[in-house]
Amino acid sequence: MNEATAVAAPPASEAELLTRAHAIAGLSLTELSEAFDTPLPADTRSGKGWSGQLLERVLGATAGALAEPDFQALGVEMKTLPLAASGRPRESTYVCTVPLDGSAEPRWEDSWVRRKLARVLWLPVEGDPSIPLPHRRVGTAILWSPEADLEAALRTDWEELMERVVMGEVDELSAHLGSYLQIRPKAADGRALTRGVGHDGAPVLTLPRGFYLRTAFTDEILRRHYL
Amino acid sequence: MNEATAVAAPPASEAELLTRAHAIAGLSLTELSEAFDTPLPADTRSGKGWSGQLLERVLGATAGALAEPDFQALGVEMKTLPLAASGRPRESTYVCTVPLDGSAEPRWEDSWVRRKLARVLWLPVEGDPSIPLPHRRVGTAILWSPEADLEAALRTDWEELMERVVMGEVDELSAHLGSYLQIRPKAADGRALTRGVGHDGAPVLTLPRGFYLRTAFTDEILRRHYL
DNA sequence: CGGGATCCAAGTGTGGATCCAC
DNA sequence: GTGGATCCACACTTGGATCCCG
């Protein structure tokens, strides 16, 4: 494989995608990077998103697509899931940005969060800090849609959180809210600002925020599929 | 002057701005670039906007400001004006992008074009192609607001052009329209696309456009101030 | 000649996430 | 443990304009 073909073709079906994902289970990030012209970052601090981008290439996701599912034709999102030595997720999972500017869809059914999570390929990756990044291995992928009870829980959280947003309480948002879905900063640093709507509809500048899934949520997905 | 101070402080008043601008009249771009840590581009093809950005630094414009006047506190825009050997403007002058997505203000009084041109520091620069870029000299600046007759003409053009835009006739726009103000492509190349509104309000993808002042307009400004 | 095409820089936003002080 | 802070890549947009062929 040369540099010009270092990105896999998009999979034609969910079955093909899952077959490819299962085929790489057990391989290390080094083994995968060698075939895909993707230099290893110096450390995990620089290149936090590196493994996710590598795995997108490996599986044939549409590179750099904008506000589209990773596998556009299939409507499937891909998410890596860093696992601690215990087998539990080590980190929360970013979903999408929070619309703070008044452009939010009013209903859960039409929300960006629901659309993003409608069909997800979860790709577990060893995430124990004692394992150097190049040595970390990929686990067995799960192609998932939210079970009814989990979707109901997400909806409850989303409605609670978005009520705060549309009421203009953006500066009272805290990551303590929400049992499975939470809102946290999503920015280059603490000085980044984006346009939002404050009390009485007044325009305000505020820290950009994102929706994240708590580890309790992704842990539950793993439990249901592996136990 | 070291690298850390290679940008002038913002002028505190229009008088200070004009004093500074007059102080550099007659200097070449090389002379100005040496003090401001701004390497000369290889040619004029690469670096089309280089002289404008150099002169913003020299005069203390807020660097890289977003949708704000160059001299924010003063509400003044700066525009370079490339002059042919004849003394007439060689090129049209870019004003701002055309809102094709339905977000346009309906009235001239509130329009982006009017606000941009409300107060302009015109900075003539030698633009004859026979003069190498580094040797081109800066002329005598003009601090200007539109005279009543010129503003009326701009308004007529703007209303004619925006009527086409709001009627969804984006793909029938042509640079032939408008006596002083025209609409032309404003993009990296002919393949760039942006969201617009077409006939019957249907969303369409179309070439990004900008408002430009024809040379007849800037020539008239020069005539009134120098003759 | 001038309408349509193009060039560069820098900031912003989105998408990929993990870091780290309390 | 985890809420708040941060890191990289890259597409897009805006702001600075001039190029160039019919």
Domain ranges of chain B: 3-62+70-226
As beta bridge partners, residue A204 has: A196
Mean pLDDT of chain A: 90
Based on the number of CB atoms within 10 Å of its own CB, is B103 exposed (0-12), middle (13-18) or buried (19 or more)? Answer: exposed
The predicted-structure confidence for A65-94, as pLDDT tens digits, reads as follows 566 778 888 999 999 999 999 999 999 999
What is the rounded distance in angstroms from the CA atom of residue B195 to the CA atom of residue A199? 31
Q: CA dist B136 to A163, A166, B23, B79, Å?
A: 59, 55, 16, 16
Which residues in range 95-154 of chain B are in contact with strand C, contact meaning CB within 7 A of any of its atoms?
none
The predicted-structure confidence for B52-63, as pLDDT tens digits, reads as follows 999 999 999 876
The protein footprint on chain D, as nucleotides within 7 A of a CB, is 2-20
pLDDT at A127 over 50: yes
The predicted-structure confidence for B91-101, as pLDDT tens digits, reads as follows 999 999 999 98
Is the shortest CB-to-strand distance from A215 to strand D under 7 Å?
A: yes
The fold of the A3-226 domain, in CATH, is: ECO RV Endonuclease; Chain A (3.40.600)
DSSP output for B122-177: EEEEE--TTS-GGG-BB---EEE---HHHHHHHHHHHHHHHHHHHTT-GGG--TTS
pLDDT at A67: 64
Please give the order of strands across the beta sheet that includes A120-126: A77-83, A120-126, A142-144
User: Residue B188 CA to chain centroid, in angstroms?
Assistant: 17
The architecture in CATH of the region B3-62+70-226 reads 3-Layer(aba) Sandwich (3.40)
Residue B136 CB coordination number (10 Å): 19
* % chain A with pLDDT above 90: 69
Separation in Å: C2 C1' and B88 CA: 15
Q: CA dist A87 to A52, A82, A128, A222, B35, Å?
A: 19, 9, 9, 9, 60
pLDDT at B227: 79
What is the rounded distance in angstroms from the CA atom of residue B124 to the CA atom of residue B139? 5
pLDDT at A4 over 70: no
The predicted-structure confidence for A14-56, as pLDDT tens digits, reads as follows 999 999 999 999 999 999 998 876 778 877 777 799 999 999 9
Which nt has its C1' nearest the CA of B46? C7
Q: Report the predicted TM-score, pTM, of the whole model to 2 decimal places.
A: 0.83
pLDDT at A207 over 70: yes
